[in-house]
Chain A
Amino acid sequence: MRCQKCDKPATFHITELTGGKPQELHLCEEHAREYLTQSGDEPSSTGGMAAALAHQIAQQMAVGQTAEELEKLDQQTCPVCGITFYEFRSQGRLGCPHDYVCFQKQLDPLIYSIHGEAEHAGKAPKRCPGGSEKRTELIRLRREMKEAVAAEQYERASELRDRIHRIEKEEEA
């Protein structure tokens, strides 16, 4: 394969994740260096933890995956809050507690590279010893209720409202 910018053989195969869609680049050493030093400044210039984190995720994802696979990964959506993996990795912020469960495969290596550990070792919450998964149900129901109202499906909305009330009552008891 030849470099996309000159006639030399392409020895660097880069997957760019900073745009809307992952994009594959095939470059010779010289053009790859030029390309990488150019884009390498970005995380620090946009500043902050979120940008640095996004950069880290992008780097980690790019290892051994094709643009097609990455695009599929990016489109994964949390059934509870509706955030896509792409939205998370471009903002560096998750959408709800359930993301830690549904994006686990991508998040676990990231969490390990940030903390060097995979398991919490400190104070434990008293109210939900097994984790708060059950309560995330409420997030999904409220979202569905809002959507039902927006779509003028009032019957469904009131059904959802009743379910929400029931769960809230159970929790209180």
Chain B
Amino acid sequence: MELDDLSRSRGEWLRGGGPESDIVISSRIRLARNLADYPFISRASEQDRSQIEASLKECVFGLQEASQLLYVDIEELDGVDRQFLVERQLISREHAESQGVRAVAIDHREKFSLMINEEDHLRIQVMQSGLDLQVAWDRVDEIDDLIEQKVTYACHERLGYLTACPTNVGTGMRVSVMLHLPALVITRQIDKAFRAMQKISLAVRGLYGEGSQAMGDFYQISNQVTLGRSEQQLISQVGDVVPQIIAWERKAREFLITESHENLHDRVSRAYGILRNAQTISSEETMHLLSSVRMGVNLGLIQDLEIPTVNELFIQTQPAHLQKLSGTELDTADRNIERARFLRRHLNKEKDTNGAENN
């Protein structure tokens, strides 16, 4: 399997299926693990890193048939390809930007990815479309067991799995659910929702994790504590609060539909109109407008568009995706033109077949 094959496929978390998928984009669980007989990454020599990579690589190929696995040496990739993997949420920004021997193994349907030599020796990540934490846990638990058959993890009698940063010690587990919450943003209730979550020690982040802005009204909710609670307890800590937020978002959407139907319909239609006609458009504006369109589709205000298509446009209009799809490196100005062209092409399919489009 090749990296370019990914750009043509959709990937699990963009599938737009699964429970509550009008609001919940994806459920993710990641486990942080380290090998017992090597120093953590900050003290690992190049030789240590190579040996860690070699032994984990062997484990990874024991997980699945090689034809269904994409194994990527991050050091060998150019900037666009690294950014491409970050945009698809298959690797972290830290993994893309750091130095030294490191890799990622990706399942062909993008249901899991394993980062090798990131902050910890191994980060196992499982993604599931919609709200489906239990399925994600079963899978990540299974992968963890399979790998452990071949290596010895660093652990401590009292503290459990040991990690490079004490914030991850214990289970090494981060449970996160990505939500699309445009109505809570419009009705200005989003801050209130966040404060409530922070009170029960859950973290809220933007689309691309730590420090990223909430582009396109996407928010990730995850646990902060990793020690002293079992994996099932951590799953319910996040999983139990999500239905509540979904209910808030639904209520806010209902309110907008009944109390300011014209305004809402206008907002959605204008967003759709701009995306279908713009000649140059930034990534930020695209995310912002696609967010309105996505809500419009879910509320039946736009009928000639499917949610998976919208989900996909969020990712494919990101800088690296755009450059990969067009096959050349582009500067910001050219990207904005290419992005507008791409959006027109995908949102005006009907017109296309009639030959009415004239660029």
Instruction: Write the residues of chain A forming the contact surface with B, with a CB cutoff of 8 angstroms.
Output: 47-50, 53, 80-83, 91-97, 100-101, 107, 110-111, 114-128, 130-132, 135-136, 138-139, 142-143, 146, 171
Q: Does B211 contact A (CB under 8 A)?
A: yes
The answer to whether B158 touches A114 (Cβ under 8 A) is no
Give, as a whole number of angstroms, the nearest-CB distance from B156 to chain A.
Answer: 5
Interface bits B107-151 vs A (CB < 8 Å: 1, else 0): 000000000000100000000000000000000010011001001
A128 pairs with B155, CB closer than 8 A: yes
Cα A53 to Cα B165 with chains together (Å): 9
Main secondary structure of the interface of A (DSSP, over half): loop
By a CB distance below 8 angstroms, the chain A residues around B148 are: 125-127
CB-based nearest A residue for B144: A123
Asked if B165 contacts A96 (CB within 8 A), the reply is: no
Known contacts A97-B34, A110-B166, A123-B141; is A49 also within 8 Å of B210 by CB?
A: yes
Give the chain A neighbours of B166 by CB distance below 8 A: 53, 94, 107, 110-111, 114
> B residues bordering A, Cβ < 8 Å?
34, 36-43, 45, 47-48, 119, 141, 144-145, 148, 151-162, 164-167, 169-171, 173, 210-211, 225-231, 233-234
Q: How far is the CB of A151 from chain B (nearest CB, A)?
A: 16
A111-B159 contact in complex given A95-B42, A123-B231, C-beta closer than 8 Å: yes
Q: Please, could you name 10 A-B residue pairs with CB atoms under 8 Å apart, sorted by A? A: A95-B39, A95-B43, A117-B170, A119-B227, A121-B227, A122-B160, A125-B148, A127-B153, A131-B156, A131-B157
Given contacts A93-B119, A100-B159, A122-B170, contact A81 B39 (CB under 8 A): yes
**Bound Cα distance A95, B48 (Å):** 13
The answer for the CA separation of A135 and B37 in the assembled complex, in Å, is 5
Residue in B43, B225, B228 whose beta carbon sits within 8 Å of that of A96 in the complex: B43
Please report the C-alpha to C-alpha distance between residue A97 and residue B169 in the assembled complex, in whole angstroms: 11
Contact status B37-A138, CB under 8 Å? yes
Chain A residues with CB under 8 Å of B171's CB are: 120, 122-123
**A116 to B37 CA separation, bound complex (whole angstroms):** 29
Give Cα A107–Cα B163 distance, bound, in whole angstroms. 13
